[in-house]
């Protein structure tokens, strides 16, 4: 008997997803295999890449290439001309900053940013969503364009908006990202450089990433500037008649890589530094970029604001809430999917029989 499913498709939220299957429908499969959003589950759902993979890769290149050049050219200069006592700490600090930055960039772009599972019939089965997730969060009676609900938090009434795409009531600070095709809890913004949305679960890594990138750039300006300064000085001692401008030109020729890195880091400081400062301000206020753009708390008190210190601890250092998706877990397909799979198998067998 021919027993195979080449390609089966299941319906989720009006979109058809390709779903590859080679075994019995009664056997459990990975939830990641039936995930309906635009994120890309990898390593059996343990990691979740955002939809903007190309720009995420570019972000890695923009950090890795100058860092490698720094280690190869600038650090080598300190080893050759200044000595190990200076070269070793300069290289070590640079390496530590680089590794921490890479860790944060990988974390921010590969964890669930805080996706609220969609409320479709098949999804309900897969994710076992229950009524007690959030007040009014998953109301089965309200599947067809229900009115907005309200929730009171610390004396302030906030709307629980209905998402017509995900068929759920969003939590108060959640928003739907059309790029990711899902609702994100404590939505901040969609960041193409990390490939994904910035939300409740990855905001801290995003903040650490931009802050450490800023520190790396400051460090690059310091180390490359030191090399340029020492080289200018050496040229001027060598040739007493040489004026500063002439020495500067000689440096450009003798250490062009550090020269370019110096200005690259300087430009980057302006962009990532201001971003880091802005996000630090938002974190102390317990607001998101989206809250700020929507001007949510200009006319009413922000009930999430518990003071700068408590806000910083909550956003950056509190335990990470568990993902609502749990894509690395296994599930057994429900009856609807099984019937579909069986129907396809019959069709396939029928086609095989006809071919023979
Ligand atoms: Zn939504
Ligand atoms: Zn997004």
**Where do the domains of the chain lie?**
129-197
Cα angle, residue 322 at apex, residues 321 and 326 outer, rounded to 5°: 155
Distance in angstroms (rounded) separating the CA atoms of residues 93 and 89: 6
Which pairing describes strands 15-21 and 182-184: parallel, antiparallel, or unpaired? unpaired
Tell me if the pTM is above 0.95.
no
Distance in angstroms (rounded) separating the CA atoms of residues 128 and 109: 26
The β-bridge partners of 168 are 163
The crossing angle, in degrees rounded to 10, of helices 256-285 and 244-254 is 90
Q: How many residues does this entry show for the chain? A: 356
Which pairing describes strands 115-116 and 182-184: parallel, antiparallel, or unpaired? antiparallel
Catalytic residue among 12, 191, 217, 224: 191
Ligand nearest to the CA of 177: 2
Residue 211 alpha carbon to ligand 2 centre in Å:
21
Residues 6+ apart with CB under 8 A from 26: 332, 338
Ligand nearest to the CA of 170: 1
Ligand nearest to the CA of 175: 1
3-state SS assignment for residue 177: strand
Average pLDDT, 10 consecutive residues per value, the chain (356 residues): 32 36 59 81 90 96 96 92 90 96 96 86 47 44 61 82 84 92 94 95 96 97 93 80 72 87 94 96 95 86 92 95 85 61 56 63
Residue 10 has a pLDDT of 34
- Asked if 191 is an active-site residue, the reply is yes
List of E strands, the chain: 5-12, 15-21, 29-30, 40-42, 47-49, 115-116, 149-153, 156-160, 162-163, 168-169, 175-177, 182-184, 189-191, 196-198, 330-331
Distance in angstroms (rounded) separating the CA atoms of residues 217 and 148: 46
Residue 356 has a pLDDT of 59
Ligand nearest to the CA of 161: 1
Residue 271 alpha carbon to ligand 1 centre in Å:
31
Residue 29 alpha carbon to ligand 2 centre in Å:
26
Residue 319 alpha carbon to ligand 1 centre in Å:
25
Residue 174 alpha carbon to ligand 2 centre in Å:
12
Residue 196 alpha carbon to ligand 2 centre in Å:
5
């Amino acid at each position: 008997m021919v027993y195979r499913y080449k390609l089966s498709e299941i319906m989720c939220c009006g979109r058809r997803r390709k779903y590859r299957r080679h075994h019995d429908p009664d056997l459990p499969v990975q939830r990641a295999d039936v995930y309906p959003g635009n994120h890309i589950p990898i390593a059996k759902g343990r990691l979740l890449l955002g939809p903007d993979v190309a720009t995420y890769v570019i972000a890695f290149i923009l950090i890795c290439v100058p860092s490698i050049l720094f280690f190869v050219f600038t650090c080598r200069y300190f080893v050759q001309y200044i000595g190990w006592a200076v070269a070793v700490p300069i290289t070590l600090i640079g390496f530590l900053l680089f590794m921490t930055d890479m860790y944060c960039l990988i974390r921010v772009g590969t964890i669930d940013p805080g996706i609220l599972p969609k409320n479709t019939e098949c999804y309900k089965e897969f994710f076992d969503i229950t009524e007690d997730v959030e007040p009014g969060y998953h109301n089965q009676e309200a599947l067809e364009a229900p009115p907005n609900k309200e929730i009171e938090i610390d004396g302030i009434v906030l709307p629980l908006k209905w998402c017509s795409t995900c068929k759920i009531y969003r939590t108060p600070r959640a928003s739907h990202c059309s790029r990711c095709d899902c609702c994100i809890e404590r939505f901040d913004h969609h960041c193409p450089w990390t490939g994904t949305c910035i939300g409740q679960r990855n905001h801290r890594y995003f903040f650490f990433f931009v802050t450490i990138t800023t520190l790396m750039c400051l460090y690059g300006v310091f180390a490359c500037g030191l090399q340029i300064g020492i080289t200018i000085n050496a040229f001027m001692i060598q040739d007493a008649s040489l004026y500063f401008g002439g020495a500067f030109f000689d440096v450009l020729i003798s250490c062009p890589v550090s020269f370019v890195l110096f200005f690259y880091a300087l430009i980057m400081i302006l962009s990532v530094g201001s971003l880091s400062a802005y996000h630090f301000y938002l974190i102390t206020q317990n607001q998101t970029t989206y809250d700020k753009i929507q001007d949510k708390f200009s006319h009413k008190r922000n009930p999430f604001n518990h003071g700068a210190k408590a806000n910083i601890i909550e956003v950056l250092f509190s335990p990470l809430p568990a993902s609502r998706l749990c894509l690395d877990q296994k599930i057994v397909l429900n009856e609807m999917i099984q019937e579909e799979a069986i129907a396809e198998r019959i069709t396939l067998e029928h086609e095989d029989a006809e071919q023979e």
